[in-house]
Structure 1
Amino acid sequence: MSVATTVDQKIASKKVIMYSKSYCPFCTKAKKAFQDLLNDGTLSKNDYEVVEIENDPNCDAIQDYMKTKTGGRSVPRVFINGKFIGGGDETAQMKSTGKLTELVKA
C-alpha cells in the first residue's frame, strides 16, 4: 500500500489525527490543546490518535506527502474530520478562541 493511501486511510479513520514527532515542541503544544479537550470530555480517546513518525521507516515519504497534501512537511500536521487545520501554533490558537472545540464537536 502506498504512503499516500495509508495516510489518507488513517486520516479518515478518526475524528482527530495528528502526525507528530515525540520530541517536537510544536507537537507538544498541539497535544496539550487536545489533552484539555480529552480531560473535559469534549473529545473521546476513541476519536483521537497521534501518529509519531520519527521512527517510521517511511518518515520522509510521509512528510513529503504532507507537503503535497497540506502545503507543508513540518510536524505537527493536524486533521479534524479529514480536514487539515494547521500545526501547533494554529491548534493552540484555535483552542484559546474556542474554535477547536467547535471543530471537534462538529
Structure 2
Amino acid sequence: MFEWITSWFQEQPISPELVKSIESAIESNKVLVYSKTYCPYCRATKDLLNKHQVEYKLVELNTVPDGSQIQRTLQKISGQKTVPNIFINGKHIGGNSDLQALEQSKKLAQLLT
C-alpha cells in the first residue's frame, strides 16, 4: 500500500531524448528563453530583450504539454530550477537578475551582437 501511494509523488525519469532536444535548441538559437506567461521576472526579461530588438526563441513552459518535464530537464542541464532560464550563444546566463546585471554592466549588448 505504501509503495502505491508514494508512486503518486515520484517524478518520471528525465528522457535522454528530451535532454538532446533541449541541448540542440540551446546550440541552435543565439538567444533562448524558457519562461512562463504569468511570471513577472520573465516579463522583465522579455521586455529587456525586446528593448534591444534582438530575436530570441521563447518557450513558455506553462503552454506546452511537457513543460514541467522540460523545466526538470533544464534544472539538470543548467542547475537552475526557476524561470526565466536564459541561454545566449549556447551559454547559460541564468535568470532575470543575471540578465539585468549584464545590462547594468553594459555587457549585454556585446553578448547580443
Partner of 1:69: 77
Cα displacement (A) at 1:55: 2.0
Answering whether residue 23 of structure 2 is matched by residue 8 of structure 1, we say yes
Partner of 1:82: 90
Aligned-pair Cα RMSD in Å: 1.4
Q: 77-86 or 54-63: which moved more? A: 54-63
Identity fraction in percent: 33
Corresponding letter in the other structure for 1:69: I
Distance 2:80 2:29 in 1: 21
TM-score, normalised relative to structure 2: 0.80
Distance 1:73 1:63 in 2: 7
Following superposition of structure 1 onto structure 2, how do residues 1-106 of structure 1 map, counting pairs within 5 Å?
Answer: 2-38=17-53, 43=54, 45=55, 48-105=56-113
Q: Structure 1 runs of 4+ off > 3 angstroms?
A: none
**Gaps in structure 1 of 5+ consecutive residues:** none
Count of residues paired in the alignment:
98
**Gaps in structure 2 of 5+ consecutive residues:** 1-15
Q: 8-17 or 74-83: which moved more? A: 8-17
- CA deviations 1:62-85 (Å, max 9, x no partner) are 111111111112110000001000
Q: Which has the larger radius of gyration?
A: 2
Q: 4-13 or 19-28: which moved more? A: 4-13
